[in-house]
A = this chain, B = another copy of it.
């Protein structure tokens, strides 16, 4: 693997890797697993894609905190019939890590009965975003479009192949640069969408002890996806971000810079009976979220 990783891998060879956190910054760390038969099936994607997807999922947690990636550790449980794919798996991890300037600083390969990739990521930032920073009155934004990941998954499960949303499932993009841009412009809280927009908005609301009123029809969707599908679609790795009403980010500047949308979809209100209240969820209704736009 070290041959494949080349300069992406640093400091491997000791019992542990040594890293320096920039002065004044805090360390942010997260771990994520990708397991055969649970998170992916062998026939669905290539070994390279399995590696890339595991790295994307883990690094997205750093994006949620607005942290700059500083290092990735990969622990692989490798069954004997996957041994020939090890280099391709590593290549996929390294491609994503390199695209975010994240060095691979450690790893572990072990025999196993099923393929598993456990990816631990370290990042740093002076101002981490958390889930608990939303305040009443804050405007809730989302990055990008929703529904593509689940649409691709359903296409795979039905045997129809990946379809036109394949890239959304195969290679979600951790919104690292986007998150740091948003954090630098007043974002108060964030979460990445791994369980689905509705579910993760609920996590955000609960951690912040507020309720969120979201206009489901305002959530940007990929073509062919219904509103209920869009808000349920998991593993999107887009961000939900909160801003003070008087500190709204420049959505046009964001779109221009990153090539994806930044969309207001709701507002935080005092904690009520439900953590997230969705309006306009009926699929026919595609009205915008005018009073917040």
Contacts and interface: CB of A to CB of B under 8 A. Distances in A.
A13 interface: yes
Interface string A3-19: 00000000001111111
Contacts of A113: 35-37, 113-114
A150 interface: no
Contacts of A131: 13-15
Nearest to A24: B23
Given A33-B110, A106-B29, A108-B32, A61 B15 contact: yes
B108 A33 contact: yes
A112 B34 CA distance: 10
Contacts of A107: 31
A75 B73 CA distance: 13
Contacts of A77: 33, 35, 77, 116
Interface stretch (A89-97, A122-130, A140-148, A281-289): A122-130
Contacts of A111: 35, 38
- Chain A facing B: main interface SS: strand
A27 B19 contact: yes
Given A19-B26, A61-B16, A33 B120 contact: no
A9 to B, nearest CB: 14
B15 A191 contact: yes
A199 to B, nearest CB: 14
A149 to B, nearest CB: 17
Interface in A19-72: 19-21, 23, 26-33, 35-39, 60-62, 64-65, 67, 71
Contacts of A177: none
Given A26-B20, A27-B21, A29-B105, A112 B114 contact: yes
Interface string A225-247: 00000000000000000000000
Closest 6 CB pairs of A and B: A16-B30, A15-B64, A118-B118, A15-B61, A120-B120, A19-B27
21 contacts: A13-B131, A14-B64, A14-B207, A15-B60, A15-B192, A16-B61, A16-B65, A16-B123, A17-B28, A17-B29, A18-B130, A29-B106, A29-B122, A30-B73, A33-B108, A35-B113, A37-B112, A38-B112, A112-B114, A116-B116, A118-B118
